[in-house]
Amino acid sequence: MEDSGSQSVRSASQEISTEFKTLVDSQDLDSIKQSQNLILGRLQDSNAVLSHFNEYSENCFADVSADFSRNTRLLRSMKSDLDYIFQKLRSLKAKIMETYPDAFPDDSAIEALDQRPDLELPSRNGMQAVVSMRIEADAVFETIGRLRGAITNDPPTK
């Protein structure tokens, strides 16, 4: 009884498989298989190219990261140096104003000299700020030059 049952299952499965074979053309299956192999080859090539690019990028990053960190430290050091210089300039200016009250033409120059851009925040007028800082620095140096000449000719009395 089991033989006849398994025999009927086997014949039914063969009949279904032949029906499926008639539904799909073997040339279509071959063309699908060929397309899949072509796509697989392209994906493997792309994977190889991306792996090579990742290795190259990793090497470039290793080369550049040391320079980048060194330059970042240098910029931070330069910023702290500039902060110190501006602090000293403000104190020098205050001493000059104390000794020579008419050394600077008006109060607007004082406000302009003390207003420098915050370099940590991006600014729309960054280039204008740099130009105005340069003009203000020139004015300070010109005033210091005039005062240096005045100091050598007329020492202050206190």
- The model's pLDDT over 18-50, given as tens digits with 9 standing for 90+, comes to 887 778 788 888 999 999 999 999 999 999 999
Terminal alpha carbon distance of the chain: 130
Q: What is the pLDDT of residues 115-155, one digit of tens each?
A: 666 555 555 555 555 556 666 667 777 777 777 666 655 55
- The pLDDT value given to residue 7: 87
- The pLDDT value given to residue 24: 76
* Gap between the Cα atoms of 41 and 15, Å rounded: 36
Q: Which residue in 136, 137, 155, 135 sits closest to 147, CA to CA? A: 155
The full set of domain ranges for the chain reads: 100-158
- The pLDDT value given to residue 25: 80
Q: What is the pLDDT of residues 81-94, one digit of tens each?
A: 999 999 999 998 88
- The pLDDT value given to residue 146: 72
Q: What is the CA radius of gyration of the chain?
A: 41
- The pLDDT value given to residue 158: 43
Residue-level length of the chain: 158
CA angle 21, 24, 28 (to 5 degrees): 125
CB under 8 A, 24+ apart: contacts of 139-143: 139/109, 139/113, 140/89, 140/93, 140/113, 143/96, 143/103, 143/104
Q: What is the pLDDT of residues 60-79, one digit of tens each?
A: 999 899 899 999 999 999 99
- The pLDDT value given to residue 18: 84
